[in-house]
Amino acid sequence: MIASDLRSSGNDSFAKPTAHIGFLLIPEFPMLSYVSVIEPLRAANRLSGRPLYRWSHISIDGEPAAASNGVRIQTEFCVGTDAYFDYVFVCAGGNPALFKHAPTFSWLRQLARRGVKIGGVSGGPYILARANVLTGYRFTIHWEHAPAFVEDYPELDLRRSLYEIDRDRLTSSGGAAPLDMMHAVIAREHGSTLAMAVSEWFLQSHVREGTGPQRMPLRERLGIANAPLLRVISRMEQTVENPLSRKNWRD
């Protein structure tokens, strides 16, 4: 796909200003989740022939941010900057339940009041919940963080999906799932033709719906074919936050 093809297909990307994307990198953020958001933006620029997106990196102190694999990303801003952003994605991993940084939470609330589109990737939604910017929105989080999250925020609308786009909140469960989410974002902003070209650029032969499951089916994940046992394990996973009593199991 090249720029002239997009013009001929009636795409209006050339009339839109470049969107500024901010990446707030929480210490020990997951590299794959971060890359799965930023790389579709780069590909969209390359394939459209114009800068549809530009991006900047933000850390809590303005210093380089270290991913969980030790790679450090240079940052241009620190939390609290008054720079203009169209989107800010919070990338977090490790144990986001332990992250406590009042200036970060305050800044995220300021962004929400300004109408900035706010995203959370992998453990990022935990940070958004701590900042109180998820109330009234549906969202998702990586399955590893879900049990602790439900204990902390039972009143919020957590979904066990790959990604959720609810108005100006965009959340992804992490891993490679942001590739699917960004397909939806690019399609919404610049048309399905460009979004499909970006997905094919990354050899993504199947674009998953946001409501898809985060984990493999139990039969494949555990290598078990016994149907009654699979039903028991499935029920255990569904009630891990509130384990069933012996009476419930007998019933």
Q: How confident is the model at residue 25 (pLDDT cuts 50, 70, 90)?
A: very high
CA dist., res. 87 & res. 40, Å (int): 15
C-alpha torsion 32→77→198→125, nearest 10: 50
Residue 28 backbone zone (phi > 0: left; psi -120 to 50: alpha; other: beta): left
Angle formed by the axes of helices 192-201 and 31-48, to 10°?
A: 120
Answer yes or no: do 171 and 237 share one domain: no
Classify residue 50: in a domain, yes or no: yes
- Our measurement of the distance from residue 150's CA atom to the centroid of its chain's CA atoms, rounded to an integer in Å, reads 18
Answer yes or no: do 167 and 231 share one domain: no
Answer yes or no: do 107 and 154 share one domain: yes
Answer yes or no: do 191 and 245 share one domain: no
Classify residue 14: in a domain, yes or no: yes
Residue 9 confidence (pLDDT) above 50: no
Residue 217 confidence (pLDDT) above 80: no
Answer yes or no: do 122 and 238 share one domain: no
Chain length of the chain: 251
Instruction: Count the neighbouring beta carbons within 10 Å of the beta carbon of residue 32.
Output: 18
Q: Is 172 helix (H, G, I), strand (E, B) or coil?
A: strand
Q: How confident is the model at residue 211 (pLDDT cuts 50, 70, 90)?
A: low
Angle formed by the axes of helices 192-201 and 177-190, to 10°?
A: 150
Token pair 């930023």 in the structure block, residue: 38
Nearest to 146 by CA among 165, 160, 130: 160
Answer yes or no: do 91 and 132 share one domain: yes
pLDDT for res 205: 74
CATH number, residue 31? 3.40.50.880
Residue 221 confidence (pLDDT) above 60: no
CA dist., res. 229 & res. 138, Å (int): 32
DSSP 97: G
CA dist., res. 99 & res. 165, Å (int): 24
Answer yes or no: do 47 and 158 share one domain: yes
Inter-CA distances, 120 with 124, 172, 206, 208, 245, Å: 4, 6, 23, 18, 35
- b/e per residue, 188-200, with b = 16+ CB within 10 A? ebbbebbbbbbbe
In which domain, by residue range, is 243 found? 218-250
As a whole number, the mean pLDDT across the chain is: 85
Answer yes or no: do 179 and 228 share one domain: no
The 10s digit of each residue's pLDDT in 169-190 is 999 999 889 999 999 999 999 9
Percent of all residues in the chain with a pLDDT value above 90, rounded to a whole number:
73
Residue 68 confidence (pLDDT) above 80: yes
Mean pLDDT computed over 132-146? 96
| Number of folded domains that form the chain | 2
Answer yes or no: do 97 and 192 share one domain: yes
Mean pLDDT computed over 75-81? 97
Classify residue 69: in a domain, yes or no: yes
Answer yes or no: do 114 and 196 share one domain: yes
pLDDT for res 209: 72
Structure-token pair, residue 211: 């409501």
